[in-house]
């Protein structure tokens, strides 16, 4: 057998010199700077895996639920995604196959389960899912819409209630293989509500399962018309949403408020809102004094008689804004009354359309900006069914709005929209020839932050049934720092 000649010291030195020469031309410096001396920027890379949790749709036997799943974009490559019941050995409800095309499924009755799921590869970045339920009759009939969310450990729900005539259930879904331990605290206008012994602490949610908790059962006898629920985990993580039923008024999902902040936006108040009630909570140690403004199509104005609200630390405050919009769609902007003094708050709106026996209820929590990109999955192509609201609270902005094909076909449609500072612009956009549910994606093109919400109206027998879902940054990319090369490893 022919043997290779051993490498001499001179040959090794020459090889290392050649490698080092190439590296000097192409690699960043050891301090993370590029060859031209400028700092090397971290790269943005698509996420490789996404998780979603959806609450159980309804306890009504006549409920009709539509599930919609969508990943924006048209990336090539491999990927998989599926949503399945939050039980062991459950079968998939939805299995998307490619980005850019929504898929849907339906379920009837009270047996439709909560869902958990994951997506990887090209289906992971921006993966979105939505459930929309219609209950045509009963004490809490209405349209209930909920965006599926990533599991977490901390949630704020302003605008809950334990008053007579209200049934507010916290839905907790555990997607993991270990049990989650959850605490729920309620805060009313006088501060923390005294819970029934042990009822609100150490609530166990078994692996791959869901649990519902009636809020009024945590504080028996307490009639809290306006309250804030704080859901946290001691162990594990959960998806959390509140299903609200109000006798003779309607029902809907209340999503968690955006994280506490000194300035917040509540986007997408319908033009025909008959009643708007603001519920605010200050979770910190300082009181909050807030200025209220309604951002409409022509600019921002202060509602007469409700220009400011004072929120005591650790307490819930409520303001009845009545017919705030006066026939024009808008968004509520909350900012510190004194720019030099800011205290974080969370907030949500209780919105009622219609009157008498034809009322319907919906909720609008504080929503963060759309960021680079955000999507709401379930929209309908029928005329006057889907309305998109875009709000620029502080500076002019331009966004691109894209309507995907429907679950039954159609061609995507796009439109660029300029939103002036302090205004709310609305539009309807649907795929050409679209059939079935479709997704709306909003991307920031330039300018300041934009907040967005979609109103889905599904009238029934003269009742203006509706639901409003906010858009949240899909965080479809992550920052990957530039790595500096260490050539000393070649000599070790």
Q: Encode the chain (492 residues) as per-residue pLDDT tens digits.
A: 434 444 444 443 444 344 333 333 334 444 455 545 555 566 788 999 999 999 999 999 999 999 999 999 988 899 999 999 998 788 899 999 999 999 999 999 998 899 999 999 999 999 999 999 999 998 889 999 999 999 999 999 999 999 999 999 999 999 999 999 999 999 999 999 988 766 778 999 999 999 999 999 999 888 999 999 999 999 999 999 999 999 999 999 999 999 999 999 999 999 999 999 999 999 999 999 999 999 999 999 999 889 999 999 999 999 999 888 889 999 999 999 999 999 999 999 999 999 999 999 999 999 999 999 999 999 999 988 999 999 999 999 999 999 999 999 999 999 999 999 999 999 999 999 999 999 999 999 999 999 999 999 999 999 999 999 999 999 998 877 766 565 555 555
Tell me what pLDDT residue 289 has: 98
Tell me what pLDDT residue 454 has: 98
d(CA 314, CA 346): 11
Q: Where are the domains of the chain?
A: 9-42, 275-347
Prediction pTM value = 0.89
Q: Identify each DSSP E strand in 282-368 by its residue range.
A: 288-296, 299-301, 308-311, 316-322, 330-336, 346-353, 360-365
- Please say whether the beta carbons of 113 and 90 come within 8 A: yes
Nearest to 150 by CA among 179, 124, 183: 124
Q: Which residue has the tokens 């009630």?
A: 277
The number of C-alpha atoms within 13 Å of 128 and in the hemisphere containing its C-beta is 33
First to last CA, the chain: 31
Question: In the numeric block, which tokens belong to residue 35?
Answer: 């060859």
- Please say whether the beta carbons of 389 and 267 come within 8 A: yes
**Contacts of residue 273, Cβ cutoff 8 Å, sequence gap at least 6:** 323, 324, 325, 351, 352, 353
Tell me what pLDDT residue 491 has: 55
**If residue 25 lies in a helix (H) or strand (E), which one and from where to where?**
helix 9-26
- Please say whether the beta carbons of 110 and 41 come within 8 A: no
- Please say whether the beta carbons of 424 and 472 come within 8 A: no
**If residue 14 lies in a helix (H) or strand (E), which one and from where to where?**
helix 9-26
Sheet holding 166-174, edge to edge: 209-214, 166-174, 239-246, 250-254
Nearest to 467 by CA among 394, 377, 343, 345: 377
- Please say whether the beta carbons of 426 and 389 come within 8 A: yes
CA distances from 83 to 46, 173, 240, 375, 450 (A): 21, 13, 17, 18, 30
Tell me what pLDDT residue 460 has: 94
Tell me what pLDDT residue 27 has: 41
């Amino acid at each position: 057998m022919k043997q290779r000649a051993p490498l001499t010291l001179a040959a090794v030195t020459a090889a290392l010199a050649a490698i080092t020469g190439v590296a000097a031309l192409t690699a960043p410096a050891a301090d993370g700077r590029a060859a031209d001396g400028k700092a090397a920027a971290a790269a943005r890379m698509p996420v490789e895996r996404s998780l979603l949790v959806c609450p159980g749709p309804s306890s009504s036997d006549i409920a009709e639920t539509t599930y919609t799943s969508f990943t924006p974009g048209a990336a090539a490559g491999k990927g998989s995604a599926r949503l399945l019941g939050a039980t062991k050995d459950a079968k998939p409800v939805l299995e998307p196959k490619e980005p850019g095309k929504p898929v849907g499924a339906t379920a009837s009755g009270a047996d439709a389960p909560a869902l958990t799921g994951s997506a990887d590869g090209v289906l992971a970045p921006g993966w979105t899912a939505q459930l929309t339920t219609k209950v045509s009759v009963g004490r809490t009939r209405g349209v209930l819409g909920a965006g599926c969310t990533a599991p977490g450990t901390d949630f704020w729900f302003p605008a809950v209630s334990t008053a007579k005539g209200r049934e507010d259930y916290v839905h907790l879904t555990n997607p993991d293989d270990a049990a989650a331990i959850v605490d729920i605290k309620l805060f009313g206008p006088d501060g923390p509500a005294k819970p029934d012994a042990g009822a609100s602490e150490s609530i166990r949610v078994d692996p791959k399962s869901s649990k519902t908790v009636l809020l009024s059962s945590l504080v028996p006898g307490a009639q809290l018309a306006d309250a804030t629920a704080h859901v946290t985990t001691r162990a594990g993580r959960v998806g959390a949403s509140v299903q609200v039923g109000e006798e003779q008024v309607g029902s809907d999902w209340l999503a968690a408020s955006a994280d506490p902040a000194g300035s917040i936006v509540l986007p997408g108040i319908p033009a025909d809102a008959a009643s708007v009630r603001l519920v605010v909570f200050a979770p910190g140690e300082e009181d909050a004094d807030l200025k209220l403004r309604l951002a409409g199509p022509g600019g921002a104005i202060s509602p007469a008689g409700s220009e400011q609200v004072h929120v005591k630390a650790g307490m819930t405050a409520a303001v009845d804004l009545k017919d705030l919009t006066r026939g024009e769609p808008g968004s509520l902007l909350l900012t510190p009354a004194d720019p030099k003094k800011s205290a974080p708050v969370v907030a949500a709106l209780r919105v009622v359309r219609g009157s008498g026996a034809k009322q319907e209820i919906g909720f609008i929590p504080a929503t963060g900006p759309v960021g680079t990109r955000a999507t709401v999955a379930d929209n309908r192509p029928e005329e006057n069914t889907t309305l998109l609201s875009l709000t620029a609270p502080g500076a002019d902005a331009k966004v691109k709005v894209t309507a995907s094909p429907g679950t039954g076909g159609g061609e995507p449609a796009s439109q660029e929209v300029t939103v002036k500072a302090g205004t709310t612009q609305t539009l309807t956009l649907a795929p050409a020839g679209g059939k079935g549910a479709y997704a709306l994606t909003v991307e920031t093109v330039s300018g300041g932050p934009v907040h967005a919400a979609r109103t889905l109206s599904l009238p029934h027998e003269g009742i203006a049934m509706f639901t409003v879902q906010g858009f949240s940054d899909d965080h479809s990319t992550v920052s990957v720092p530039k790595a500096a090369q260490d050539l000393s490893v070649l000599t070790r």
